[in-house]
């Protein structure tokens, strides 16, 4: 139960912080692209490249690479709270890409409608793009959450705590296959519940 609680803590704190950072970045990518509401080639290129850099680094390497930053922010490099720093740096660019994809799926007619009504950039995003993309955004955040669960398990290999640490310490290192099997079952159940919840919310928003 302690390992499950640590995993839930890492996932949802990282998801919250990653969403706060990633959603605005995703929206910014959409509005600054060449056919966006506010095209800005330089800003788009800089942000797009930065996100690509973070997305291209495997999480296990990112865990080690940001150790100095983790120590600076948290004061230590082990434990569930310390693991949140690399988890946020991992998930925020991922969420930004998911948000970008979801919003780009909204038909161009929606933007034209907003322009014809004299809406500014904020109003276009708030009252047109965001509501139309909300169901897709729910599924995107569900995908991000499931990805975070896998990342927290990886964080457990370097003392991040959670179910991953349980599997390594009490399963792999002690040759206890039953513990490893149990952690797999727990992770599968959590993922299935989250995916079902996300699908249900998205379906409800689409009025299906």
pLDDT exceeds 70 at position 172: no
Averaged pLDDT for residues 149-156? 79
Q: Length of the chain, please?
A: 208
How far apart are alpha carbons 136 and 94 in whole angstroms?
Answer: 15
Structural domain for 159, as ranges: 2-205
Cβ(149)–Cβ(59) below 8 Å: no
Helices (H) and strands (E) in the chain, counts: 10, 0
Supply φ then ψ for residue 135, to 5 degrees: -60, -45
pLDDT exceeds 90 at position 160: no
CATH number at residue 178: 1.10.3720.10
Averaged pLDDT for residues 35-40? 79
pLDDT exceeds 60 at position 208: no
Domain count, the chain: 1
Give the least confident one: 5-19, 51-65, 171-185: 171-185
Is residue 8 exposed (0-12), middle (13-18) or buried (19+ Cβ within 10 Å)?
A: middle
pLDDT at 174: 74
Q: Which tokens in the block code for residue 82?
A: 């310390």
List, for residues 71-100, the tens digit of each pLDDT value: 888 887 777 788 888 889 999 999 999 988
């Amino acid at each position: 139960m302690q390992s499950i609680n640590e995993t839930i803590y890492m996932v949802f704190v990282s998801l919250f912080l990653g969403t706060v950072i990633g959603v605005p970045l995703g929206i910014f990518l959409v509005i600054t692209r060449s056919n966006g509401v506010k095209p800005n080639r330089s800003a788009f290129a800089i942000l797009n490249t930065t996100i690509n850099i973070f997305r291209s680094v495997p999480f296990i390497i990112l865990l080690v690479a940001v150790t100095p930053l983790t120590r600076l922010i948290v004061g230590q490099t082990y434990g569930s709270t310390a693991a949140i720093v690399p988890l946020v740096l991992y998930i925020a660019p991922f969420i930004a890409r998911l948000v970008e994809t979801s919003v780009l799926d909204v038909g161009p007619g929606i933007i034209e409608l907003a322009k014809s009504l004299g809406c500014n950039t904020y109003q276009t995003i708030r009252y047109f793009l965001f509501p139309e993309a909300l169901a897709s955004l729910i599924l995107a955040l569900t995908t991000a959450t499931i990805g975070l669960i896998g990342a927290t398990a990886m964080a457990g290999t370097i003392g991040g705590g959670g179910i991953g640490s349980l599997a390594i310490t009490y399963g792999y290192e002690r040759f206890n296959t039953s513990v490893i099997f149990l952690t797999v079952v727990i992770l599968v159940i959590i993922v299935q519940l989250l995916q079902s919840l996300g699908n249900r919310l998205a379906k409800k928003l689409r009025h299906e």
